[in-house]
Structure 1
Amino acid sequence: MDTTLAQDEARRAAQHHALKSRLETRVDSQIAAQAQDGLQNEQQRIDAVAADLQRRLIDEVSDREREVIQLRAIARAGQVVDYVFWVLYALLGLRFTLALIGAREGAGFVRFVKGITEPLFLPFKGIVASPALETGGTLVLPLLLAIGIYALVHLAIKGLLRLWAQRRTDI
C-alpha cells in the first residue's frame, strides 16, 4: 500500500508540476502579449503626440511667416510715407528759402516750385501775415506753419503704422 500511495503521490506531483508548467507558460504568454499590446499602444500614443506637435509647429511657422509678410508690408508703407513727407518738406522748404532770399517771381524755377507746392500751401495761406524783410525777401510764416502741421500729420501716420504693427505682433 505504501508503494501505491507513493506512486499515486508521485503521479499527482507530476500532474501538478505539468499543470503548473502549462499555467506558467500560459500566464507568461499572456503577460508577453499584454506587454506587446502595451508597447504598441504606447507607440501609437507617442506617434499621435509627435504628429500633433509637428502639426502645431507647422501652423506656428506658417502663422509667423504670414506675420512677417504683413510686418514687411507695414514697414514698406512706412518707408513710402516717409519718402512722400520728406519730398513735401523739401519742396515747402525750398519755397520758403526762395521767398526768404527774394527770388524773382517770374523766374521759371520759382514758378515751377510754386506751382508744385501751391496745393499743399493753399490751406495755410493767409493764416498769419508774412512780413517783408529789408533784404527784399519775405518771411512766409504760413509755410513754416504748413511744414509744422505736415510734420504732425507725418508723426501721426507713423504712430498709427507702429500701433498697427505692434498689435499684429501682440495678437
Structure 2
Amino acid sequence: MKLIKTPIKDLVIIEPRAFGDERGYFMESFKSEWFYKNVNPKPLIQDNESKSTKGVLRGLHLQAPPFTQAKLVRVVQGEVLDVAVDLRKNSVTFGNHFSIILSADNKKQFYVPRGFAHGFAVLSDEAVFSYKVDNVYAPDYEMGLRWDDPVLGIDWQLGREEVQVSSKDAVLPIFNEFESPFTT
C-alpha cells in the first residue's frame, strides 16, 4: 500500500496495490497492521456501505465529541467526488477542504480523521460507497455543514440542478454559522 499526504495535515490517500490480468484483479483493501502503524493506531470498528445514483450528494456530515468518527472510505462500484473539510479550530488549514475522485477503477482510499466534515457526490450512473469508522453512530451527536456553502466554495463537479440532497442535509448550517466542537 502506498500512503500519499494531502495539503491538509492528517488527511491522507491510500493506494492499494492491485494485481490484475485478463481474469480480473486481486488487492488487499485493508491490512490492520499496516494501517495502524502508518495512518492511525485507533481500531476501526465498523464497516458501512451505501448505494446511490448519479447526482446524490451525501454530506457534509460529522459527529460531535465524544462520538467523533474517523473514516476510511472507498468506492466499490462507480465514481464519486469525495470531500473533507478541516474543522479543527487550531489547525492552520481550518475551513479548508480537499477533494478527490474515488472510483472502482482507481481503487484509491481516503482517510478522513476526526475533526473533519465529510461528504461525497456520485458522478457515475450509480455508486457503491464503502467506509470503515472508528466509533459508533450516535444520531444525537450528528452535525453537518451545507453542501453549497458559499464560504467553502466546493466544486462538486455537478450542475446545481443535478444535485439531490436529503431534506435533512438541505437545512444544515453554513460555515459562518457553525460552531466547531474541535480544537485539534
Structure 1 and Structure 2 fold alike (TM over 0.5) = no
TM-score by length of 1: 0.19
Q: As a proportion of its length, which structure holds more helix?
A: 1
Q: As a proportion of its length, which structure holds more strand?
A: 2
Kindly name which structure, 1 or 2, has the bigger radius of gyration based on alpha carbons: 1
Higher relative contact order at CA 8 Å, sep ≥6: structure 1 or structure 2?
Answer: 2
